[in-house]
Structure 1
């Protein structure tokens, strides 16, 4: 099989893993306890497998530390599940692997084979998926009813975005570029980044992985009015508490992950918009030094969108797009960049044509609209998902504090 993702295209990884197991762990015994959680044992083999799994995914943070914490939490989850009648069938595990594999453009069987070529046993993936499915059902049974918001809570959440006050959000961003060859890498990496809850860890991941211009400052954005964001993303962002990180958000040619750093309310009714006017001038060469230098030169020469007509004169009509669209119709990656811009400001964070074309994106203007309103269902779902996650995390923290955990 010709693998589609470079991160798993590592025939030496299995040899490296085998070499590692011939060292200290071989003396300790592969199946000797590495950690005990109450009466459950995590073996050296399980720990090495999880470390290798995280290493192949290029997960942020120390893979040894993350592997230990993840396996401990999984034992605690399954100890809670064991007191119920929840049982995950092999067919459900296979379906879960196939669902995971869909994000990598591989079949379940191809994903297992790719992992095996990197030194990760299929059973390691099966166990990982089984725990996730069981915990999802457990959390739904035990926390869903408590997590559902009341009508008044939904009204208050909507009111924060529409009627009497404005809301601004302080976010950090990581934008991971995607090509067909790197899609699996990017999706796996974004999934791992979405588990970060530390500001410092998120900033470090931004410096290492983000393609946005904010990478050098840890992905930190300035305050943004919530209404500047794409409508579909507002409930997602509203649901985040400070320190929490969003799920991966697919964009054309990229995947985004956001971390909430703070919210603030402002007096008066927030602006909402019926149309956004913007321009995209396309520069050959992608993010090459030459293309970026040309973009910087243009930034210094143009003050408003109409100036771009003179820049594009004599070029094919496809060199410049001037667009007026409702916020919900704008491609998500463009909408996210426009959210950061005032009239006449420019972004050069986007590419097209599999990264071969740089987009010189300029905000031309916004047309105000009265009585914009978030979908009640979107707000309710976002609040519910956030609360289920919070309740489940709090319960695991309680179990961890009460557990007898011994590391060898």
Structure 2
């Protein structure tokens, strides 16, 4: 239980609506909000039942949200968060939930780690931008104590049954889950790694479908960029097992954190989830062919890929194309889904038998991969335990977040909140 709750707290999107910390945001800093008069800093800005939120706390949280690059108006987000924090603190206090200094420090350290900084470095960066250590401490305590409270109160009700997991994975025989995603795939190499990482972080914090579609059109190297990054409906089971739980945990409009692939960084935005009639297929093995073409994404290499693709209908045809070349130019493999490299698995998820893709590269971008789907072998019942656990955790997280949001709204409806 403790391990799951820890993963729930650190999962993207749990703490304050998908706030992600980036080193760039901290280094660039942010203009401090217009300060209230010094003599009014510790005057009440809001009262929540018998608890006071001061102007100083509101100013500090506003600056903190601005530094983190939280989408939306930082002042509005800060006010809303602080009101909810007071409601949560009252509930956790009544339940007798408290944290040790060790747990608080660990939580602050974990948060700093999201920006690839030590806690000392993170606090220094915050201080240079006018945010006190107490602000991070209060923010961390509120998140951790509420995590413990929600877990102790709702976890038993949030856990899915075996049948519900089967349905989500398309194994129940009554239906399967399909997801509607948009993608941005950005090539990365040693020369552009810093720029790509910063761009990917910015994209991961976008807060609209239109903005993500614009980013896909402008920056993505995938064929889907011509359709604003939109992918068709895909069975959840076609995605790489390690991504199924992550994708299923997204709400419509939410974006994954940047996902490292070989030679690229990927981001996905959830546009929809639906359950369809009929059992979704599960696959014990996937056979695919990789035909390697010198030149990376150069026009000449892409032209060669199109020419080869026009001459083949099955993977067997590639043997004829490659017969007078170095044997290393063609690689045909049959692997379990969990064993397939993630970038290959993502491309294969979009392909039916006999279809090709020329999106991937190898050799640090110098070799283009013409990928062809040869066929999929049905899974006759042997389970992928890791994928199943990932889906179970995603379903549990969804329910915990729903229980949490509903309970906070109930607390708010019963509270006396006065904005000065």
TM-score by structure 2 length?
0.72
Q: Given that residues 158 and 399 in structure 2 are in contact (C-alpha distance below 8 angstroms), is that contact kept between their aligned partners in structure 1?
A: yes
For residue 302 of structure 1, report the CA deviation from its aligned partner. 0.9
1:240-389 matches, cutoff 5 A = 243=252, 245=254, 248=257, 250-252=259-261, 253-254=264-265, 256-259=267-270, 261-267=272-278, 269-281=279-291, 291=298, 294-295=301-302, 298-299=305-306, 301-303=308-310, 304=312, 305=315, 321-350=331-360, 359-371=369-381, 373=383, 375=385, 377-389=389-401
2:136 alignment partner, one of 125, 147, 151:
125
Q: Do residues 207 (structure 1) and 218 (structure 2) align?
A: no
- The aligned length equals 380
Q: Given that residues 299 and 346 in structure 1 are in contact (C-alpha distance below 8 angstroms), is that contact kept between their aligned partners in structure 2?
A: no
Determine the structure 1 residue equivalent to 2:63.
49
Gaps of 5+ in 2: 1-21
For residue 258 of structure 1, report the CA deviation from its aligned partner. 4.5
Determine the structure 2 residue equivalent to 1:171.
180
TM-score by structure 1 length?
0.74
Determine the structure 1 residue equivalent to 2:24.
7
Distance in 1 of aligned mates of 2:318 and 2:132:
55
**Partner-residue secondary structure (3-state), 2:374:** strand
Q: 1:294-340 CA deviation, whole Å, 9 max, x = no partner?
A: 43662365144566667778887666543321111112232122112
**Partner-residue secondary structure (3-state), 1:170:** strand
Gaps of 5+ in 1: none
Cα distance change on mapping 1:106 and 1:326 into 2, 3 Å: same
CA RMSD, 1 decimal: 4.1
Moved more, 31-40 or 104-113: 31-40
